[in-house]
Amino acid sequence: MYIIVVGGGIVGYGLALELQRVSDTEVTIVELSASRASQLRDELGEMVVHGDGSEIAFLERVGARRADMVIAVTADDGANLVACQVAKHWFGVARTVARVNDPRNEALFLKLGITSTVSAAGAVMAQIETSLPQHTLVPLMALQSAGLKVMDMRVQDGATVAGHALRDLKFPTGVLIAVVVGPNGARVPDGDTVLTPGDEIIAVIPHEAEHLVRAMVTVNDGM
C-alpha cells in the first residue's frame, strides 16, 4: 500500500513513525517548509519530500496517481481540504483523510467527499468519554457511505439490556452486536449470550439508531 502524508508537523511526524512499522506500506511525507523538511529527513530519510501537497504538479511527481491513500494533516484546513480533493478528483485516490483544525469545518469536508476526518477536539472527546467511569458509547469508526458507525459501549447496571439474552432483546433494525467483552475475555455472541453489567460491546450501529441503542445500554442518557 502506498500512502502520502501531507504535513510534517507533530501529527504528520507521529503518523509517519506509526506507518513505518506497518509492513508492505510505503509512505511519503510532504512538508512545505524547507527547514522542517530537512530536519525530518535527517531522522526519517528519503521518505520525506519538500513540497506543496496541494500543488497538482508536485503531487504527480511524488506518485499520487498510484497512491492508495492521502492523509492531509497540516495546521491549515484549506490546505488539507484541497490536498484531499485534488487527490480524489485529479488522481483518483480511493481514500482521503483530512485533519480538521476548526471543528466547524468537519461537516463541510465530509459533504465534499473526503472519506474521513480527524479532529483533535473529537479525539480528545473520545479519550475523555472512555475514561469516564460511566462511559457508554464511544464511536470507534464511522462508515460514512453506509451510514453506519462502529461503537464501543459498556453495559450499565440497571440498563434495559442488562441480564437479558440477546435473543430476547429488540435492538433497532440494522444493529449488529459484533463482539462482547466480559471478565473471561472477548467472544462472538449468539442468541444465548446474556449481557451483564460491565460487559463491553462492540457493535455496528446505523446513525439513526444510535440514541435508541444508547437508551437501552445506559440507565440515564445524561452524562
Partner 1 sequence: MRVVIMGCGRVGAGLAQQLATEAHEVTIIDTNAFAFQRLLPEFVGKRLVGSGTDDRTLIDAGIEHADCFIALASGDNRNILASEKAKEVYGVKTVVTRVRDPLRSEMFGRLGLQTFSPTKFGIDLAHQALVTAAGGQ
Residues that bind partner 1 (CB under 8 A): 54-57, 76-79, 81-82, 85-86, 89-90, 102, 104-105, 107-108, 111-112
Q: Which alpha helices (DSSP H) does the chain contain, by range?
A: 10-20, 34-44, 56-61, 77-89, 106-111, 120-131, 210-217
Minimum Å gap between C-beta 78 and partner 1 is: 4
Question: Which is nearer to partner 1, 60 or 68 (by Cβ)?
Answer: 60
Minimum Å gap between C-beta 93 and partner 1 is: 14
Question: Which is nearer to partner 1, 67 or 153 (by Cβ)?
Answer: 67
Q: 119 has which bridge partners? A: 100
Residue 187 has φ and ψ, to the nearest 5°, of -145, 155
Question: Which is nearer to partner 1, 113 or 158 (by Cβ)?
Answer: 113
Cα separation values, 214 from 19, 160, 209, Å: 34, 10, 9
Minimum Å gap between C-beta 104 and partner 1 is: 5
Question: Which is nearer to partner 1, 119 or 156 (by Cβ)?
Answer: 119
Minimum Å gap between C-beta 76 and partner 1 is: 7
Question: Which is nearer to partner 1, 85 or 156 (by Cβ)?
Answer: 85
Question: Which is nearer to partner 1, 102 or 190 (by Cβ)?
Answer: 102
Alpha-carbon span 200 to 78, nearest angstrom: 39
Q: Buried b / exposed e across 209-219, counting CB within 10 Å, b at 16+?
A: bbeebeebbbe
Closest to 34 (Cα-Cα) out of 16, 55, 47, 48 = 48
Minimum Å gap between C-beta 86 and partner 1 is: 7
| 213 SS3 class | helix
Minimum Å gap between C-beta 62 and partner 1 is: 15
**Edge-first strand listing for the sheet containing 176-182:** 137-143, 148-154, 200-206, 176-182, 185-187
